Structure 1
Amino acid sequence: MSERRALAVAVAFLLAAAPAAAEPRVTLLDLPFRVTQLRDAGSEAALSVTTAGLPQLPRKAGPVAVVWGEGGAAVLTLSGDTIAVVPLPLDAIEGLTAGETPKGALPGSRRVLSGPISAYLSGPSRGPDGRPGAAGVTVRERQKVTMSADPKPVPVETATVPPGAGAVFSAETLRPVEIGGSLNLLALSEHPEGAGLAVIGRRDGTWRVRAETPPEPGPLALATDLPGPRPGAVLVRGEEGRLEQWSLSGEAPVRQMRSTGSADGKGFSAPGAALGDALVVASRDRTALAYLSLKDLTERARATLPAPVGAGLAVLGNQVVVALADGRLASVRDGNARP
């Protein structure tokens, strides 16, 4: 046998003997109540819980997610690679989340916090298709206070950003993202000619819509923002549920790529999340989570869920916590599914 043929046989043997990549593993978490609300580690609810000094939580809890329903509440933390469930009284969670929808905010929406800045959808309105939307985004910023012996109220500057003539902001939750060292807000805007992603930032000292993706007809959802040195966003567009990845680094959003399609040919839907160098996003019918490479939006693996996605999902370490439509809570561990 020639050396080349012997090498080929050896390589084939090693490939055949190598274990297959581990598929994502789904585990149901034991909770004594049906989950109707889930908040991830970046939410106001999670911030309130971790700063409230609750005795039930570890002193250094790390990132947490918060879940609750009519029958109870809990905080989810990581203990090694295991998700620990810390029960809390429901009234404690209700007290800590009472400010999620401030006065004047769009009913059912939640404000976002980032340092001294809070923002929320305001001014209930109707979009071009008649669906509920918001006439503006209200931004409130706490100002610096000069130290003195006498207590002083913290001054707050407030600005309301309109979406533009004939447009409304979609009733989706805002997303804060840092672009070029400055805080910006991501919102979906609906125009008579279609929907687009609006980037709200401060320019020349004034908060306004500073950039927007071209509006296109059909449904639009924000699957997730992509934080980091090269911030971006992943959109789900159209009835077919195609993914679009946009770069937000420059003056205007630039579309980087579109998905070539899902494994089942049915597309995708929100919600989604970034997990290392992978994107985790719900299937079009929300009965599974798909793992895609952020390099080319190619699907690498899929985890079938016990029930469709309900209240949303959150990332804890290398696991995704999913609130299911039937009130159960599941964790999905990605194994070797990430590219």
Structure 2
Amino acid sequence: MSERRAFAVALACGGLAALLSAAHAAAEPRVTLLDLPFRVTQLRDAGSEAALAVTTAGLPQLPRKAGPVAVVWGEGGAAVLTLSGNRIAVVSLPLDAIEGLTVGETPKGALPGTRRVLAGPVSAYLSGPSRGPDGRPGAAGVTLRERQTVTMSADPKPVPVVTATVPPGSGAVFSADTLRPVEIDGALHLLALGEHPEGTGLSLIGRQDGTWRVRAETPSEPGPLALAADLPGPTPGAVLVRGAEGRLEHWSLAGGKPTRLAQGGKGGDGKGADGKGFAAPGAVLGSELVVASRDRAALAYVSLKDLTERARASLPAPVGAGLAVLGRQVVVALADGRLATVQDGDAQP
């Protein structure tokens, strides 16, 4: 081979390597810190009561058509996060404005530290402070308040509300974890965690024969359990994080009958590609789950099909108040009060 040809081959190989390197770099999730003048202690996603209140309050600071928003606040301020193209825009708000709009998140009688959920005419919250079999705080029931339809008339009249309380079962309590609404076969259901003497499982609350009740449960197992994410859509489901090792479980809720579709991560051992487990919180992003690592120091992108981990983004501080998805970006409230966005160009649509 002549020197000129050898040089050309080397140059081509070097260019190919550079392209491969650039493609690999582009595939890595990118973490960016947002500049906020206050420490974030609370974050609410687009499906929360706080986000609904903000977008319907007619605040002049917000764009006329803001689209999905997330809301953050702390001791020194508040802000609404909106998606402007591919960029997260920060709209500052007075703290008292947010406090006024979120004052009803924990209604009278609700378990302290939990929030109610709103779904059409139904509001639901954990009620009746109690203790679980292991002594941890829990709730003795889930209270549902449903607004009834009113016949239109010239005279104003109060909207009647029907209230029902669903117990978790004999010797059990509901975990002190915020409820999640999910639609199954066109009907509203609620997801809660039920703590029994034999362990903890996922409880599916729905209306049966006209009465709200626990319709179905996943098998209870000893050890900690957290609901990482609910999965809306034609085939509704839920992803749980079980055990001290942080094992993922993907459950289908179709037909109101929980069925486990997958568990664990790579190799089916409940661990991610680097041998570490996972922790709540999590959120759905296309066909993937974005979920905190077990030490909460990173976010992992996990396939909902088989729970294998594709990528992981290291964070500048552990996950704190939670996370939210806006478009293709994940907003993360960090434990030190900072706010970060994570964007991954390979996230599956």
Q: TM-score of the superposition, structure 2-length normalised?
A: 0.92
Q: Deviations over 1:293-335 (max 9, x none)?
A: 1111110000000000000000000000000000000000011
Which structure's residues are more often helix, by fraction?
2
- Letter of the structure 1 residue corresponding to residue 57 of structure 2: A
1:266 to 259, 276, 294: 276
Distance of 2:16 and 2:74 partners within structure 1? 49
2:285 to 275, 279, 282: 275
2:58 to 42, 53, 61: 53
**2:179 corresponds to 1:174:** yes
- Letter of the structure 2 residue corresponding to residue 130 of structure 1: G
Contact preservation (8 Å) 1:300, 1:337 = no
Contact preservation (8 Å) 1:301, 1:337 = no
* 1:5 match: none
- Letter of the structure 2 residue corresponding to residue 194 of structure 1: G
Contact preservation (8 Å) 2:41, 2:73 = yes
What is the CA RMSD across the aligned residues, in angstroms? Answer: 1.3
Q: Secondary structure of the equivalent of 2:97?
A: helix
**2:325 corresponds to 1:315:** yes
Distance of 2:274 and 2:112 partners within structure 1? 36
Q: Which moved more, 1:257-266 or 1:126-135?
A: 257-266
Distance of 2:103 and 2:31 partners within structure 1? 32
Q: How does 1:130-279 map to 2 (within 5 A)?
A: 130-259=135-264, 260=268, 261-279=271-289
**2:89 corresponds to 1:89:** no
Q: How does 1:22-41 map to 2 (within 5 A)?
A: 22-41=27-46
Q: Which moved more, 1:250-259 or 1:125-134?
A: 250-259
- Letter of the structure 1 residue corresponding to residue 345 of structure 2: G
Distance of 1:192 and 1:246 partners within structure 2? 22
Shift, 1:15, TM fit: 8.4
Moved over 2 A (4+): 13-21
- Letter of the structure 1 residue corresponding to residue 120 of structure 2: G
- Letter of the structure 1 residue corresponding to residue 100 of structure 2: G
Instruction: Give structure 2 stretches of 5+ with no counterpart.
Output: 1-12
- Letter of the structure 2 residue corresponding to residue 313 of structure 1: L
Q: Deviations over 1:12-53 (max 9, x none)?
A: x89865432511100000100000000000000000000000
Distance of 2:342 and 2:307 partners within structure 1? 20
2:129 to 94, 101, 124: 124
- Letter of the structure 2 residue corresponding to residue 268 of structure 1: F
Contact preservation (8 Å) 1:291, 1:338 = no
* 2:6 match: none
Shift, 1:250, TM fit: 2.2
Q: Secondary structure of the equivalent of 2:55?
A: helix
Percent identical among aligned pairs is 83
- Letter of the structure 2 residue corresponding to residue 204 of structure 1: D
Contact preservation (8 Å) 1:300, 1:338 = no
- Letter of the structure 2 residue corresponding to residue 71 of structure 1: G
Distance of 2:192 and 2:347 partners within structure 1? 31
Instruction: Give structure 1 stretches of 5+ with no counterpart.
Output: 1-12
